[in-house]
Amino acid sequence: MKILVATEKPFARKAVEGIREIVAEAGYELAMLEKYTDKAQLLEAVADADGLIIRSDKVTPEVVDAAKNLKIVVRAGAGYDNVDLAACTARGIVVMNTPGQNSNAVAELAIGLMIFMARNKYTPGTGSELKGKRLGIHAYGNVGRLVGACGKALGMVVSAYDPFITDAAYFEAEGVRKVDSVEELYASSDYVSIHIPATPQTKGSIGYELLNRMPQGATVINTARKEVIDEAGLMKLLEEREDMKYATDIAADSQAELNEKFGKRVFGTPKKMGAETAEANINAGLAAARQAVGYLRDGVTKFQVNK
């Protein structure tokens, strides 16, 4: 069996060493394709792979077609919007993610971005503190819960909205107020931290109407996916509301224009860096290797997302 690790944005060395050990212990072959610049390289490398481990790398129908032996794709990370599930399912290829493995890194970045924006992107001038501010968590999953806990530790007043968690006790147990609508969450938060996946339903779902509900001086932090934002709506909002700020992990498509127009009120990382820590790479990379081997050798389908 051959497992290919295809990472345009490579894992930390330690993670690669760990993956190598897990694959070798199973008696499988490991192939590495890192920092590739052309889709053709992936198409060639995947041709004889039985398992594929990726990060944000795109698994398109073309990739599936080229991968004649492929049985499993493991997305080392949470969001699998980069994998064409229908194409994989049609070929009987199992797709998994590694939920929770890189969440802490993303949560820390979300808090870092809040402080960065509150302190005027570390430029001279009077900033503000997070203590006492209202933090709204948009989707209370692995990352959202950690951001909430960090926010509480900083003295923020934390609320959360998650349409998939109806049990109020779940939030209350963590000292977080459950909010029943997304509109109420935005209306009652000085900071909103976004943690929704990019799906056909969520893409472009956060726009002018929702953002404009936020109170004076509010900041939106997006460490989820740039696609969930309606950028035209965001642009209009920032034009009309000089009090508001927006920071995103991975530059918006219109980031150059946003930067030029709104300067200190906006920020976008040039490359997605939420999960770019050695710890997150090791956690997610090793979990992905174990899951790939677990499926190929023992048929374990835990964390399969295309059941």
For ligand 3PG, the binding residues (CB under 6 A) are: 9, 55-56, 77-79, 102, 272, 274-275
The 3-state secondary structure of 133-146, one letter per residue = CEEEEECCCHHHHH
DSSP secondary structure string, 241-278? -TT-EEEESS--TTHHHHHHHHGGGEEE-SS--TT-SH
Nearest-approach distance from CB 141 to ligand 3PG, in angstroms: 11
Q: Tell me whether residue 5 or residue 130 sits nearer to ligand 3PG (CB atom).
A: 5
Altogether, the residues listed in the chain come to a count of 307
Nearest-approach distance from CB 54 to ligand 3PG, in angstroms: 8
Question: Do 185 and 136 contact (CB within 8 A), yes or no?
Answer: yes
Q: Tell me whether residue 22 or residue 275 sits nearer to ligand 3PG (CB atom).
A: 275
Nearest-approach distance from CB 9 to ligand 3PG, in angstroms: 6
Nearest-approach distance from CB 1 to ligand 3PG, in angstroms: 24
Q: Tell me whether residue 138 or residue 272 sits nearer to ligand 3PG (CB atom).
A: 272
The 3-state secondary structure of 32-84, one letter per residue = EEECCCCHHHHHHHCCCCCEEEECCCCECHHHHHHCCCCCEEEECCCCCCCEC
Q: Tell me whether residue 57 or residue 230 sits nearer to ligand 3PG (CB atom).
A: 57
Does an H or E element contain 29, and which? strand 29-34
Q: Tell me whether residue 113 or residue 157 sits nearer to ligand 3PG (CB atom).
A: 113
- Phi, psi of 10, deg, nearest 5: -65, 155
Nearest-approach distance from CB 78 to ligand 3PG, in angstroms: 4
Q: Tell me whether residue 80 or residue 267 sits nearer to ligand 3PG (CB atom).
A: 80
> Between the CA of residue 125 and those of 64, 119, 128, what are the distances in Å?
52, 8, 10
Q: Tell me whether residue 271 or residue 297 sits nearer to ligand 3PG (CB atom).
A: 271
Nearest-approach distance from CB 275 to ligand 3PG, in angstroms: 4
Q: Tell me whether residue 9 or residue 241 sits nearer to ligand 3PG (CB atom).
A: 9
Query: What's the token pair of residue 278?
Result: 């050695």
- Residue sitting closest to ligand 3PG (CB): 77
3-class DSSP assignment, residue 187? helix
> Whole-angstrom Cα distance, residue 16 to residue 22?
10
* CB neighbour burial string for 21-40, b if at least 16 within 10 angstroms, e if fewer: ebbeebebebebbeebeeee
**Contacts of residue 103, Cβ cutoff 8 Å, sequence gap at least 6:** 78, 142, 143, 146
Nearest-approach distance from CB 239 to ligand 3PG, in angstroms: 29
Nearest-approach distance from CB 90 to ligand 3PG, in angstroms: 24
